Chain A
Amino acid sequence: MVEVTDSLGLVLEGEVLTVYIPGLTAALPFLVKARANKGVETIPYGALPLVSGETLPTYDGGSATVPAAGVIPARAYTDSAKTFPLTGAYDATDMWYYPADYNERLFHVIQEVTPAFLKCDIQIPKGVKPYRFQRDKVILGIGTEPFGFSRGRTEVVHLPEIRYGYRWGNETNVPLYTSVKFTYAEYIVETVKDAETIFNILTRRLPSYWITLPVFTREETVVNALIKAYGITGFPIYPPYKKTQAIAEYNNLIRQVKV
């Protein structure tokens, strides 16, 4: 078994990161050429971006007021997704947002929330609930839905031109102080541009680290962002017995790739 990640779970230089988008049934394999923040991968961000006085819905059907900055009230959840402010970032209201002309960069972000039993989900793009059950019969997430969330940890790749929304929920009867730690890599990448290699990666014959983004429907915001940043929406997944068809399509797509 070839290790393609380090002890932090971040992809090593020279290895391939495959970003799979289920809603498009396509994947983008990126060669990690370098890591711009090697050795300093941790951000002790601080409290969750909850503002004192803001009102959140509760699991009991009412609402609750955030009593102090970063405190999640008892039984409350963030129905409207949040971003993480950072002074000096490209967008000071959203530290993980970056534009299409930064397309040689890719951010691999692991969020670890304290307390770890808080419900977590991520909306891509912000405002779109990602998880569904039986097509669209049940829309899922950290709200009053019965499932469709993780606890205390999320892992995504932030793609350019797309604003992601983070949400959390507190099922306990206690208002809780919170904090978040990010472990991240700012990769310097290029798209893998050899059709045979792409086919071998996407059929898992070559090792790569796969991240499946929680985008389970075709979102035009995501499509437009991918085309603007990379020129394509990704390479479609083919089974091993359709190699000829796959290689032909991949060669066409490679000619449109921007980075």
Chain B
Amino acid sequence: MAKLEILVYVFLSIGIFVNALGVLGLIRFPDVYTRLHAATKTTTFGCIFIVGGVVVMNIFQYEETSLVIILHSLAALFVVIFTNPISAHAIGRAAMLSGVKPYGAKVDQFSERFKKTGKVSAQVNQEKLE
């Protein structure tokens, strides 16, 4: 029984630590893309561990509402895992197509390739930038 209690503390501590790293990266990094890299993955990972701690705690202290809490927390975790990478991808693509350059970038292969293949959106942005 005591081992399960230690497992709850360890899971919640890992979750808090990883979320803190994500917010630290969000504050300190200079650019949109580096901030996406820092913030999205770490918050998903921290959510996995905090929901894991909640599930183990409810198995340890089993009451009549515990089963509902476990199943609904796992559903919330499912939602976070499946929607967070998609929204991060959408933000990165929208930032790139709206003409935000990466920090300290010298070569822009994205705009060159879209100039060759003739997609409209990248061409318009390239003309606006020049």
A pairs with B: no
| Residues of chain A at the chain B interface (Cβ within 8 Å) | none
